[in-house]
Amino acid sequence: MRPMPDIRSEGYREYALRREMTLEERLAEERIVFLWGEINPATAGSLIMRLLELQAKSPDREINLYINSPGGSVDDTLAIYDTMQFLHCDVGTFCVGQAASGAAMILAAGTKGKRYALPHSKIMIHQPWGGITGQAADIVIQAEEILKAKKVLNELMAQHTGRPVAQIEQETERDRYMSPTEAKDYGIVDEIVDTSLEARSKKKNKK
């Protein structure tokens, strides 16, 4: 008869805990987190909490952020951005599928040298937009806020890509789609990857 596991042992408690973890939680244990879908208060809040949790656990270990998002709220995009800059640890960013609008900003905001795109992903940058309704005075206020957001985002994109603000302003007047190669040339990503970084490291060590 197979002996019953000792539930008092640390090994068993760790095993039981891991069995109860979701796939997302298990990946977070490996410091892999996701920005999946529209950027809104829920997705931004969840990601920010996860980033801060991992920072608290190991301030010096890198976090890898996988992005597949059409963008979304400017305020929530900037909340994620500010949190990434606040962290002590490096944040590697990976575009999987698409990184459009604010998501392209998050992709570019990864640690320099650790911003990646997968071969068939796409990146899109443009100016912020929003439907403006209400009384005339309110419309003026909202329009001013959009212009402020546009200025901030253009300056940040210029900072992370090394391109002049004037060029960013001109090229985001309309949707600009980029292939991974174009995004690399633009300065949004540093490398195009087709295998995991761990697998690539093992290949290099074998040579």
Catalytic residues: 101, 126
Q: Is the dihedral of CA 133, 135, 138, 139 positive or negative?
A: positive
Inter-CA distances, 182 with 36, 93, 105, 160, Å: 23, 17, 15, 15
Distance CA 207, CA 199 (A): 13
Q: What is the DSSP string of 102-127?
A: HHHHHHHTSPTT-EEE-TT-EEEE--
